Amino acid sequence: MSTQSSPLKAVRGTRDLLPPETALWNRIEQTAREVFARYGFGEIRTPIFEATELFARGVGEETDIVSKEMYTWEDRARAQSEKAQSLTLRPENTAGVVRAYIEHKLGERGDLQKLFYIGPQFRRERPQRGRYRQFWQIGVEVLGPVSSGSESPVRDAEVLEMLATLLDELGVKNWRLELNSVGSTEDRKRYDAALRAALEPVKARMCEDNQRRAETNPLRVLDSKEPADQEIIAALPKIADYLDEDSRAHFAAVRAALDACGVAYTVNPRLVRGLDYYTRTTFEFTVPSSFDPASGLGTQNALLGGGRYDGLSEMLGGPKAPGIGFAIGEDRLILVLQEQDGSRAVDAPHPEWMWAKKLDAYIAPIGAECNAAALALARELRRTGLSVEVGDGTFRLKKSFDAADKVARNIVILGEDEVRSDILTVKTFATGEQTKVARAELAKALRA
């Protein structure tokens, strides 16, 4: 009887990230951390699951995220005194950050809270290139009491300018910033009424989802990707015509500050974003790529998205705490960087660290009896900060050279003679040069 069973695989829509690609992930995260530090941000880590109600109230019941894409389960009570609770893997991190802001009374500190996070999010979407069920976001949130300046258009422009700087430092080419204002909560009420009126005579011709949204949350009709409904959607009123004077002035000030910084943008009056908490400024950055809107996959496929959420804290039962933030899709950022570098051409736009770095040395023991000495030599070199790999004394010399050439810049031969004399043979692959080096000089020679 065969005892073999089919090997288990990662769940659909989830992925293993393997070296050397993980080095690229780490460099991107490191660059983000460096840039965020320059702008005065501190890191926040919130739980990966939260009460379902947080997302229902924050992101909105009628959004695709909450109505279709969440991983939600009933967490059983473990004792008589406990109640079963509906929990959800976080589909995004803004609601969690604002919950933490409220819970820890960060508003009472009086100053602006500038927070960033890097971590996995979960949405049950149809997996495809650049869209996964577990994906990573690098995000920031800036929020605080009104007295901290959290409502100022300077905050919006600073966050956008920081993004432009980060993308430039990462070597991302051809990014495009699309910008809009979805107005204040009051503007939105008037726009909501206008949308309802405009949808009334036409909604019967729309898909079932949109008919329901027309009743419950007409703004979400604008996110619809239903092809048959696009003509009706295109003819609906535009939010720009419903902004009051304050919202208009805010938007104008954001644009003026961006102009002053030399950050280019395009105003896209249709950009409403798929989450309910947004007010005033909304934005997305796109880059031509295999998951780009231009290739017909829909605007959902941005590299990053964000906006202002002046009422979110109150929606979650907290104090007034206007804020703005964004989240970069890290998986998509990696795809963009890899695509833009293509064949790793000489004029490759990205920094050298896009590509896995070779180790400083590969130590090849000649004969199994030299293995221990090789490990001791590796320890010595590694303690000086060099990156070293150790082969195996049973390898033939040719095999050692081939293995070394793949992973390291130099090979160090360690046979019985070398062990006895403390003079080592070093070959540098780039030049083909072979030299004898005294053990005491070896670290310096390998560093050259």
Give yes or no for residue 418 binding ligand HAM (CB under 6 A): no
Instruction: Print burial letters for 156-167: b (CB count within 10 Å at least 16), e (below 16).
Output: bbbbbbbbbebb
Q: Residue 57 Cβ, how far from ligand HAM at the closest point, in Å? A: 14
Query: Positive or negative CA dihedral for 397, 399, 405, 410?
Result: negative
Q: Residue 237 Cβ, how far from ligand HAM at the closest point, in Å? A: 23
Give yes or no for residue 125 binding ligand HAM (CB under 6 A): yes
Give yes or no for residue 203 binding ligand HAM (CB under 6 A): no
Q: What are phi and psi of 282, to 5 degrees?
A: -130, 150
Give yes or no for residue 322 binding ligand HAM (CB under 6 A): no
Give yes or no for residue 282 binding ligand HAM (CB under 6 A): no
- Where in 291-320 is the site for ligand HAM (CB under 6 A)? 302-307
- Where in 64-93 is the site for ligand HAM (CB under 6 A)? 92-93
- Six-digit token pair at 293? 């809107």
Looking at the Cβ atoms of 287 and 361, the one nearer to ligand HAM is: 287
- Six-digit token pair at 47? 């739980």
Instruction: Print burial letters for 20-44: b (CB count within 10 Å at least 16), e (below 16).
Output: eeeebbeebeebbeebbeebebeeb
- Six-digit token pair at 301? 């496929």
Query: Which position's Cβ is nearest ligand HAM?
Result: 329
Give yes or no for residue 137 binding ligand HAM (CB under 6 A): yes
Element (H, E) at 399: helix 397-407
CA-CA distances (angstroms) from residue 17 to 247, 334, 353? Answer: 43, 11, 17
Q: Residue 30 Cβ, how far from ligand HAM at the closest point, in Å? A: 20
Looking at the Cβ atoms of 332 and 409, the one nearer to ligand HAM is: 332
Looking at the Cβ atoms of 121 and 210, the one nearer to ligand HAM is: 121
Angular region, 105: left φ>0, alpha ψ -120 to 50, beta rest: left
Looking at the Cβ atoms of 123 and 213, the one nearer to ligand HAM is: 123
Cis, bond preceding 20 (omega within 30 deg of 0): yes
CB 151 within 8 A of CB 246: no
Q: Residue 331 Cβ, how far from ligand HAM at the closest point, in Å? A: 5
Looking at the Cβ atoms of 220 and 427, the one nearer to ligand HAM is: 220
Contact pick of 94, 148, 289, 340 for ligand HAM (by CB under 6 A): 94
- Six-digit token pair at 428? 């540098």
Give yes or no for residue 131 binding ligand HAM (CB under 6 A): yes
Q: Residue 273 Cβ, how far from ligand HAM at the closest point, in Å? A: 6
Those residues with Cβ within 8 angstroms of residue 369's Cβ, 6 or more apart along the chain or in another chain:
393, 416
- Where in 324-353 is the site for ligand HAM (CB under 6 A)? 325-327, 329, 331-332
Q: Residue 263 Cβ, how far from ligand HAM at the closest point, in Å? A: 18
Binding site for ligand HAM (CB under 6 A): 92-94, 123, 125, 131-132, 135, 137, 139, 141, 302-307, 325-327, 329, 331-332
